[in-house]
Structure 1
Amino acid sequence: MPLLEVNNLEVCFGLRQGSVTALRDISFQLERGERLGIVGESGAGKSVLGFSIINLISRPGFINKGEVLFEGKNLAALKNKEMRTIRGNRIAMIFQDPMMTLNPVLTIGDQMVECLRAHRKISKQDARVISLQKLKQVYIPSPDTRLDQYPHELSGGMRQRIVIAIGLLLDPDLIIADEPTTALDVTIQAEIMELMVELCERNNVALILITHDLGVVSEVTQRTIVMYAGRVIEEGPTKEIINDAQHPYTQGLINALPQMALPGQRLNQIRGTMPGLNDLPSGCAFSPRCDYVLPACHEAIPALTKSGGCNVACHLVTEQNNLSEVNE
């Protein structure tokens, strides 16, 4: 049984003009200890998917249909009291900005002890010992001193390490990291991602890494999902997607990486912008920005189909595969 299984998930947001669909027909599986990347531009639905997994979608958002099975239990159907035994305990989430995660008026130690005692019946002293161990795991220097410091006294990289330590406090089976290195400089980003991979491998913890950076995904994850306008458009082993991207959108993301342009040359970019949820074009949502658009792209939403070692939702790829089969 997979650790996590998402089946036909659909998430909507209710507006005065009617509801809009933020996620459509999302399905994937995650094994224990596996590292999965979720990639796409802002507005693709990556963070909404992360929040949906732990049932943290707040009104006017709601899960309209589908399942989020964690060890066979449907999290989408659980009440808040039942979810508390899983959220933060079995599944931890690391957010983009550590200053928004950490309470500025409490010391690091107070916050870690409070988190532990909310889920376990242990003394403050025992909770402090566990907190100290977790700070050592994430290589915080002078961890006993850091426990008595406030978030503003620490650097950005140190705060993010502490957020990771808090995520590990209850020995979760799954960590969802939503753009965990966005506010950090490049060298600190590399250190944080290297640390997360090491911790996941050491503790056999599964990781869902939500990011817009395919460069980070290529270094950290084993499998990747590419999202566009609330749908999965390509999915497969990370190496195959990076080395042989098949969807025009994924190819555009890879070509937009800084290292793909020569020194002094303009950076490549995908023309246009992602459509709003209430203004999606008919057919393929990427068709207005695609250089390889076909008549079918304006008529029908492409289904995910097998292509090589990946699943791709693209009429062009399907047509090319059909032609190859005919020629064979």
Structure 2
Amino acid sequence: MALLEVSNLDVRFALRQGDVKALRDVSFTLDRGERLGIVGESGAGKSVAAFTILNLIAKPGYIADGSIRFDGRELTTMKPRQLQQIRGNKVSMIFQDPMMTLNPVLTIGEQMIECLKAHRRIRRRDAREIALNKLHQVYIPSPERRLDQYPHELSGGMRQRIIIAIALLLDPDVIVADEPTTALDVTIQAEIMELLLELCEKHNVALILITHDLGVVSQVTQRMLVMYAGRVIEQGPTREIINDAEHPYTQGLINALPQMATPGQRLNQIPGSMPSLANTPPGCAFHPRCSFSVDANGERRRDCREVIPTFVRSGNCDVACHMVRELVERHSPEHDASDNGPSEKREAL
């Protein structure tokens, strides 16, 4: 049994003009110690998925349908007091901006001790000792002095290390990291991600990494989900998706990386922009931006325009694309089992 199971999750925001569907039929699993990446453009639903796991979506947001099971327990029906035993204790979260997470009027030590005392019956002296130990684990220099400092006295990289230390305070089973390096420069980003990877491997902690940086995902995660307009459109082993993406949107994300462009030429880009969740196109939400949805006559394929694609198995990945389904069904089982099957399907695209 997986440590975390999300099944057919629908999340909506109740607005005056009607409900806006932020997540649609999202399903994935996470095993103990596994590292999962969730990628996509801004507005794809990545952060909503992360917040929903911990039931942190505020009104008018609500879970309309689906199931979230952690270690066999259903989270969507838990009462607040029961959920508090999971949130922060078994599942911790690292947010984008450490200055928004840390209380500016409390010292680092006070905040860490307060976190421990909220979940455990523990003496203040013992809580301070645990906090000091966690600062050592994230390689904070002079940790004794840092405990008595305020957040504004620390650099951005140091504050993010503090946030990671707080996330590890209660020895969680899962850490959800929502773009943890967005506010940092490139050098510090690499250090923070290397630290996070080291700690997860050392303590066998599962990680859900939400990011738009495919380079980070390829280095840190074992599996990945690609999201678009509130849906998962491709999922599978990270290395397989990065090396041989099947969905046109995933291919577009990879081709948009700077290293994929010819030196001196304009960067590759996906035409158009992410649709508003209040006005998502019918059928495949990506079809207005997808060159593969255009038939030989220069018109959009009817199935792309009208039918929401379901997942089809291609290699070790699940892909929601009508074109990929046609190519998979066109190939014989013998061809699919061959080593060059996925590459040939990609060339056909």
User: TM-score interval w.r.t. the shorter chain?
Assistant: over 0.9
Residue 154 (structure 1) aligns with:
154
Residue 311 (structure 1) aligns with:
318
Q: 1:326 to 1:86 in 2, by over 3 A?
A: closer
Residue 225 (structure 2) aligns with:
225
Same amino acid, percent of matched pairs: 70
Distance in 1, Cα, partners of 2:67 & 2:57: 14
Residue 145 (structure 2) aligns with:
145
SS at match of 2:279: coil
SS at match of 1:202: helix
Residue 330 (structure 2) aligns with:
323
Residue 212 (structure 1) aligns with:
212
CA-to-aligned-CA distance 1:209-239 (integer Å, 9 cap, x gap): 0001111000000000000000000000000
Distance in 2, Cα, partners of 1:261 & 1:227: 23
Q: TM-score, normalised by structure 2?
A: 0.93
Q: 1:326, CA displacement in angstroms? A: 8.9
Q: How does 1:139-218 map to 2 (within 5 A)?
A: 139-218=139-218
**Runs of 4+ in structure 1 over 4 Å off:** none
Q: 1:295, CA displacement in angstroms? A: 2.5
1:299 aligns with one of 306, 318, 338: 306
**Is the counterpart of residue 101 in structure 1 residue 101 in structure 2?**
yes
**Is the counterpart of residue 116 in structure 1 residue 123 in structure 2?**
no
Residue 251 (structure 1) aligns with:
251
Distance in 2, Cα, partners of 1:282 & 1:70: 33
Q: 1:168, CA displacement in angstroms? A: 0.2
Distance in 2, Cα, partners of 1:173 & 1:300: 39
Residue 22 (structure 2) aligns with:
22
Residue 265 (structure 1) aligns with:
265
CA-to-aligned-CA distance 1:236-255 (integer Å, 9 cap, x gap): 00000000000000000001
SS at match of 1:13: strand
Distance in 2, Cα, partners of 1:144 & 1:327: 63
Distance in 2, Cα, partners of 1:262 & 1:185: 25
SS at match of 2:332: helix
Q: 1:289, CA displacement in angstroms? A: 0.3
Residue ranges of structure 2 left out of the alignment (5+ in a row): 294-300, 336-349
SS at match of 1:292: helix
Q: 1:296, CA displacement in angstroms? A: 1.1
CA-to-aligned-CA distance 1:260-280 (integer Å, 9 cap, x gap): 113222111111001111111
Distance in 1, Cα, partners of 2:146 & 2:17: 50
SS at match of 1:318: helix
Aligned amino acid, residue 86 of structure 2: I
Q: How does 1:23-38 map to 2 (within 5 A)?
A: 23-38=23-38
SS at match of 2:217: helix
Q: 1:309, CA displacement in angstroms? A: 1.1
Aligned amino acid, residue 314 of structure 1: C
Residue ranges of structure 1 left out of the alignment (5+ in a row): none
Q: 1:189, CA displacement in angstroms? A: 0.4
Aligned amino acid, residue 10 of structure 2: E
Residue 77 (structure 1) aligns with:
77
Aligned amino acid, residue 48 of structure 1: V
Q: 1:327 to 1:162 in 2, by over 3 A?
A: closer
Q: TM-score, normalised by structure 1?
A: 0.99
Q: 1:79, CA displacement in angstroms? A: 1.1
